[in-house]
A and B are shown apart, each in its own frame.
Chain A
């Protein structure tokens, strides 16, 4: 090389620089002859336009070689292209900011490095695999290390798809620029947006599978305008939407818009809300989609049922069912209409006589021991029949039937208790003594049965709780009216306080009892009437009205008259029909009996008595006449004041009897005016020393004895006793007026 002061040129003139003066080039750098650093160097050109301008007409090349490592880098232009790379079996690396950003391995693999000097994009040339964030193990392998790791972002609108996977240039998977995904179709956005999978004939069009653990495999498919989801692992179709739009779950032939089938015995559908939320099924038309509803409130634990947009039924948390109400019992049916509500209807459409519609009651849920029921039994046309209240009283598990009816309302409206064929409005039949028991729990209350005509009370039977007795009365209940039977079985008519011990007590201003006898061609009555003073028992004639009931019968009566100051009894008879009976006999207040209207006490027959008298014989002067102990009785009969004494006595012994003798009488002889009370009689004395007929006696007023004399004297006072020897018998008869 020949170097001058202003030029640097080798012998072959390969490098020529020019300068304006002899300079003093400094060491280092590429300088011109002036010692100035060159800013543009030309190789193959003397007018470089770049710092290093290499020009050649035959593939100009730039080569950098590390001879130590035998690494060569070459940049060249050839033909119509420009080439850069290693000229040896080494990688080509491109760095920025002194960091490697791109590496092309000697075998052709390419790696792009991210900011952390990790391989962000890797091309496996031998496999033709592309990896993002990883050395690819598959043709396209993305290692997702952050949220955006696998995002393909395409901008612009042409072509109309942004991602397309093809098989032999036939598109198999395409994402169009509207975001729709097509599998097996190039027009995924035909009618819908999203994912469009199209296959020619296979039904299993989309598979979803988990393989490692908890495995499962489903596929979705369509066929014949139906859609289905199939559990492929278990070869079971789980859901189908058929060509009619019907949805079937576990059935491929849904019979309605939604049919859920279970091959097990437990088929359940869940509608679940968040806690305290509400789940509902709504029904309706297009204009009102919630007219019908079944909903459940988790907050209040209530199940609601709606129709026509209104709640109709609910089941509360305790299981109470309410229809049109908030139930307070297990089942409550409420309505608020005018007239008959018709809350509940039980129907038996068999509609044959003997069939029933029923409601039953039990204490068990085993369909046995149903012991009570309400039965409606068809018995005739038009669905008419009998309503039975039934109670099965058998001591076993038999269920109640209509045969257990205790109360029946038949088709004619008659009510039967103890009979299913009541013949009248209320027919009670039973073998027991007590058929009806009416009980009031209120002390002293009146309990009554009332009979009405056209709403007017006509009669009443009841218990008078105030006066404690049964009352039977016309009209309504009025204490003291009608017939009253007290708790001691005393009967009062016109009084609610029959005198205790009197079985029948009739109270009226003029109480009368009529006893009517009926017979062929005749009708007559007897009467018992009390007007406050007189109690009259009469036949035929009504004492109140004076009328005769039977013109072919006569009148008789007995009056018990309790006048002030003394009573009497009067007996009346009549000698002809239709004639008021006249007095025939009277018992006076003093006890005597009078006849034919004579009411004088003096004329009254006032006594009657029979008896015996042990007569005693007393000698008028001295001595004794003794009667036998069993032969001393005389008989007497007393009618009114008139006494008749008869008898026969026997003497058992004497002791020097002298004078007359007396025989005692049972009654004292009356002392009447003008000695009219004196009397005598007949006496026969047998076995004396004189003639049997030779005795007489006198009965003097004021005495209670007779004095016996022997006849033969003019004054009748001869002694009689001295004729007795002790064997005599005395026969006696006397009638006299007693004192």
Chain B
């Protein structure tokens, strides 16, 4: 039986505040892996992450402290300038 599974196989936390997410889609046939593909995205402390799974949100929210958010905002302002 074919089965499709999606999971965030990597949650990479960067010092800058970015969190790089790798969502891996695996297609299985009776448990055997037929294919596997990666899809990447990056979220920042300024992004809306409500669409992400709870476990990812938990990591993000745990990492994104107010201080970190403030620093990130400050860095972004510097870059824009």
Q: A residues near B, CB below 8 A?
A: 609-614, 636, 664-668, 671, 700, 702-704, 739
B39 x A668 contact (CB < 8 A): no
A609 x B42 contact (CB < 8 A): no
Q: How far is the CA of A614 from the CA of B40 in the complex (A)?
A: 8
Contact of B37 among A612, A664, A666, A668 (CB under 8 A): A612
Across-interface contacts of B15 in A (CB, < 8 A): 739
A-B residue pairs in contact (CB < 8 Å), sample of 20: A609-B38, A611-B38, A611-B40, A612-B38, A612-B39, A613-B39, A664-B42, A666-B20, A668-B14, A668-B16, A668-B20, A671-B16, A700-B79, A702-B16, A702-B75, A702-B79, A703-B79, A704-B42, A739-B14, A739-B18
Q: A613-B39, A668-B16 are in contact. List 15 more A-B contacts (CB 8 A).
A: A611-B37, A611-B38, A611-B40, A614-B39, A614-B41, A664-B41, A664-B42, A667-B40, A702-B16, A702-B18, A703-B79, A704-B18, A704-B42, A739-B14, A739-B15
Q: How far is the CA of A664 from the CA of B22 in the complex (A)?
A: 14
Task: Say how far B59's CB is from chain A's closest CB, in angstroms.
Answer: 16
Contact of A704 among B22, B39, B44 (CB under 8 A): B44
Q: Please judge, given known A-B contacts A611-B22, A702-B16, A739-B16, whether A668 and B42 are in contact too, CB under 8 Å.
A: yes
Across-interface contacts of A671 in B (CB, < 8 A): 16
Residue of B nearest to A666 (CB): B40
- Tell me if A's interface is mostly helix, strand, loop or mixed: loop
Across-interface contacts of A614 in B (CB, < 8 A): 39, 41
B1-55 contacts to A, CB under 8 A, are: 14-16, 18, 20, 22, 37-42, 44
B16 x A666 contact (CB < 8 A): no
B20 x A667 contact (CB < 8 A): yes
A612 x B16 contact (CB < 8 A): no
Residue of B nearest to A616 (CB): B41
Q: How far is the CA of A607 from the CA of B20 in the complex (A)?
A: 15
Q: How far is the CA of A66 from the CA of B16 in the complex (A)?
A: 201
A665 x B16 contact (CB < 8 A): no
Task: Say how far B57's CB is from chain A's closest CB, in angstroms.
Answer: 18
Task: Say how far B41's CB is from chain A's closest CB, in angstroms.
Answer: 7
Q: How far is the CA of A665 from the CA of B41 in the complex (A)?
A: 7
Residue of B nearest to A634 (CB): B40
Across-interface contacts of B14 in A (CB, < 8 A): 668, 739
Q: How far is the CA of A165 from the CA of B69 in the complex (A)?
A: 173
Mark each residue of chain B from 57 to 76: 1 if its CB lies under 8 Å from any CB of chain A, else 0. 00000000000000000010
Task: Say how far A630's CB is from chain B's closest CB, in angstroms.
Answer: 14
Q: Which residue among B39, B41, B75 has the maximum number of chain A CB atoms within 10 Å of its CB?
A: B41
Across-interface contacts of B18 in A (CB, < 8 A): 668, 702, 704, 739
Q: How far is the CA of A664 from the CA of B39 in the complex (A)?
A: 13
Q: How far is the CA of A611 from the CA of B42 in the complex (A)?
A: 13
Q: How far is the CA of A613 from the CA of B41 in the complex (A)?
A: 6
Across-interface contacts of A609 in B (CB, < 8 A): 22, 38
Residue of A nearest to B39 (CB): A612
A666 x B41 contact (CB < 8 A): yes
Task: Say how far B64's CB is from chain A's closest CB, in angstroms.
Answer: 14
Q: How large is the interface on B (under 10, 10 to 19, 20 to 34, 35 or more residues)?
A: 10 to 19
Across-interface contacts of B41 in A (CB, < 8 A): 613-614, 664, 666
Q: How far is the CA of A613 from the CA of B20 in the complex (A)?
A: 11
Q: What are the 9 closest A-B residue pairs judged by CB atoms, nearest first?
A: A611-B38, A666-B40, A704-B42, A668-B18, A613-B40, A702-B16, A612-B39, A739-B14, A611-B40
Q: How far is the CA of A568 from the CA of B20 in the complex (A)?
A: 28
Q: How far is the CA of A588 from the CA of B16 in the complex (A)?
A: 27
Residue of A nearest to B42 (CB): A704
Task: Say how far A640's CB is from chain B's closest CB, in angstroms.
Answer: 15
B79 x A667 contact (CB < 8 A): no
Q: Which residue among A609, A610, A611, A700 has the maximum number of chain B CB atoms within 10 Å of its CB?
A: A611
Across-interface contacts of B44 in A (CB, < 8 A): 704
Residue of A nearest to B37 (CB): A611
A611 x B39 contact (CB < 8 A): yes
Contact of A610 among B20, B38, B79 (CB under 8 A): B38
Across-interface contacts of A702 in B (CB, < 8 A): 16, 18, 75, 79
B39 x A665 contact (CB < 8 A): no
Across-interface contacts of B39 in A (CB, < 8 A): 611-614
Residue of B nearest to A705 (CB): B42
Across-interface contacts of A611 in B (CB, < 8 A): 22, 37-40
Q: Which residue among A610, A667, A700 has the maximum number of chain B CB atoms within 10 Å of its CB?
A: A667
Across-interface contacts of A739 in B (CB, < 8 A): 14-16, 18, 20
Q: How far is the CA of A603 from the CA of B9 in the complex (A)?
A: 26
Across-interface contacts of A612 in B (CB, < 8 A): 37-40
Q: Which residue among B14, B18, B42, B79 has the maximum number of chain A CB atoms within 10 Å of its CB?
A: B42
Task: Say how far B4's CB is from chain A's closest CB, in angstroms.
Answer: 16
Q: How far is the CA of A739 from the CA of B14 in the complex (A)?
A: 7
Across-interface contacts of A667 in B (CB, < 8 A): 20, 40, 42
Q: How far is the CA of A28 from the CA of B27 in the complex (A)?
A: 189
A665 x B42 contact (CB < 8 A): yes
Q: How far is the CA of A611 from the CA of B15 in the complex (A)?
A: 23
Residue of A nearest to B44 (CB): A704
Task: Say how far A637's CB is from chain B's closest CB, in angstroms.
Answer: 11
Q: How far is the CA of A613 from the CA of B37 in the complex (A)?
A: 11
Residue of B nearest to A643 (CB): B40
Across-interface contacts of B20 in A (CB, < 8 A): 666-668, 704, 739
Task: Say how far A639's CB is from chain B's closest CB, in angstroms.
Answer: 14
Task: Say how far A562's CB is from chain B's closest CB, in angstroms.
Answer: 26
Q: How far is the CA of A611 from the CA of B22 in the complex (A)?
A: 9
Across-interface contacts of A665 in B (CB, < 8 A): 42
Task: Say how far B27's CB is from chain A's closest CB, in angstroms.
Answer: 15
Q: How far is the CA of A739 from the CA of B79 in the complex (A)?
A: 16
Residue of B nearest to A645 (CB): B40
Q: How far is the CA of A227 from the CA of B37 in the complex (A)?
A: 130
Across-interface contacts of B16 in A (CB, < 8 A): 668, 671, 702, 739
Q: How far is the CA of A703 from the CA of B42 in the complex (A)?
A: 10
Q: How far is the CA of A671 from the CA of B22 in the complex (A)?
A: 21
Residue of A nearest to B21 (CB): A666
Q: How far is the CA of A609 from the CA of B20 in the complex (A)?
A: 13
Q: How far is the CA of A739 from the CA of B18 in the complex (A)?
A: 9
Across-interface contacts of B79 in A (CB, < 8 A): 700, 702-703
Q: Which residue among B14, B40, B75 has the maximum number of chain A CB atoms within 10 Å of its CB?
A: B40
Q: How far is the CA of A611 from the CA of B37 in the complex (A)?
A: 6
Q: How far is the CA of A665 from the CA of B39 in the complex (A)?
A: 11
Across-interface contacts of A668 in B (CB, < 8 A): 14, 16, 18, 20, 42
Residue of A nearest to B38 (CB): A611
Q: How far is the CA of A610 from the CA of B18 in the complex (A)?
A: 20
Residue of B nearest to A665 (CB): B42
Q: How far is the CA of A581 from the CA of B14 in the complex (A)?
A: 41
Residue of B nearest to A609 (CB): B38
Task: Say how far B75's CB is from chain A's closest CB, in angstroms.
Answer: 6
Task: Say how far A107's CB is from chain B's closest CB, in angstroms.
Answer: 152
Q: How far is the CA of A676 from the CA of B14 in the complex (A)?
A: 18
Q: How far is the CA of A488 from the CA of B22 in the complex (A)?
A: 42
Residue of B nearest to A664 (CB): B42
